[in-house]
């Protein structure tokens, strides 16, 4: 027996892991970030082998972790958590600083960050566990609390993509009424609200949204949406 509800009882935060290799920068959302030992201060991250961030951390041997605050909205999380840096410039609309190890570090919607040098790697199948010694850390002036994984699900109504460490299929999908929900990221299109930021006025029926419209959070097309019943 393997009851998925027990996995949902595990606690995490929401983080952005960034790195830079051969002049290329990238970053992704990760919930699996944890302190391993205190001396020397050491953290671990688990990255999917398919992710560009994985490729670049493997090359560079360094990574930074920004602690995401509760101020982060779904478009922000969607950019780093549902889109790949191979096709998206994730740094276009956000603030970064360059850290001591030369990586871009996300400071938008962040309460603090740390930088680490990889000391160990462990192949765990779909993911690689990178263990890194922390060489720099800074708290940022931020009025908001660090976002927990529970807050992401309960308040932001966020979903977990297949490349995440904690993906458990679609068992957590909730039912609703009269709306269309993205099967990839959980974004809900509500005809009463439309999507004015992307030229879809309030009151636009689902059928009348132009075919080229994409999910504002994760970028997939209309075919990836299901009606919420």
Q: How many angstroms from the chain centroid is the CA of residue 111? A: 16
User: Which residue, 95 or 166, has its beta carbon nearer to ligand FMN?
Assistant: 166
User: Which residue, 72 or 200, has its beta carbon nearer to ligand FMN?
Assistant: 72
Count other C-beta atoms under 10 Å from residue 54's C-beta: 22
Q: How many angstroms from the chain centroid is the CA of residue 190? A: 23
CB nearest ligand FMN: which residue? 81
User: Which residue, 51 or 66, has its beta carbon nearer to ligand FMN?
Assistant: 51
CB of 12 to ligand FMN, least distance (A): 8
CB of 213 to ligand FMN, least distance (A): 21
**Positions that interact with ligand FMN (CB under 6 A):** 14, 26, 28-32, 46-48, 51-53, 77, 81-85, 127, 152, 158, 160-161, 163-165
User: Which residue, 27 or 191, has its beta carbon nearer to ligand FMN?
Assistant: 27
Element holding 15 (H helix, E strand): strand 15-21
**Distance from C-alpha of 48 to C-alpha of 42, rounded to nearest angstrom:** 20
* Owner of token pair 């995490």: 12
**Distance from C-alpha of 196 to C-alpha of 20, rounded to nearest angstrom:** 35
CB of 108 to ligand FMN, least distance (A): 16
């Amino acid at each position: 027996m393997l009851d998925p509800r027990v996995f949902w009882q595990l606690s995490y935060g929401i983080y952005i892991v960034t790195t830079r290799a051969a002049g290329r920068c990238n970053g992704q959302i990760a919930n699996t970030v944890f302190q391993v030992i205190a001396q020397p201060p050491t953290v671990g991250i688990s990255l999917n082998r398919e992710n560009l961030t994985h490729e670049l951390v493997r090359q560079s041997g360094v990574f930074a972790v920004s602690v995401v605050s509760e101020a982060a909205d779904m478009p922000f999380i969607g950019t780093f958590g549902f889109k790949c840096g191979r096709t998206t410039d994730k740094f276009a609309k956000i603030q970064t600083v360059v850290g001591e190890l030369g990586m871009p570090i996300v400071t938008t919607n962040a309460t603090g960050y740390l930088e680490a040098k990889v000391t160990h790697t462990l192949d765990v199948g779909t993911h690689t566990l990178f263990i890194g010694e922390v060489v720099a850390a800074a708290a940022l002036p931020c009025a908001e609390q660090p976002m927990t994984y529970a807050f992401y699900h309960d308040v932001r109504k966020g979903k977990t993509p297949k490349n995440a460490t904690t993906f458990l299929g679609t068992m957590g999908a909730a039912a609703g009424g009269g709306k269309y929900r993205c099967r990839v990221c959980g974004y809900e299109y509500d005809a009463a609200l439309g999507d004015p930021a992307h030229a879809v006025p309030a009151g636009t029926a689902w059928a009348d949204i132009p075919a080229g419209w994409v999910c504002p959070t994760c970028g997939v097309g209309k075919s990836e949406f299901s009606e919420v019943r």
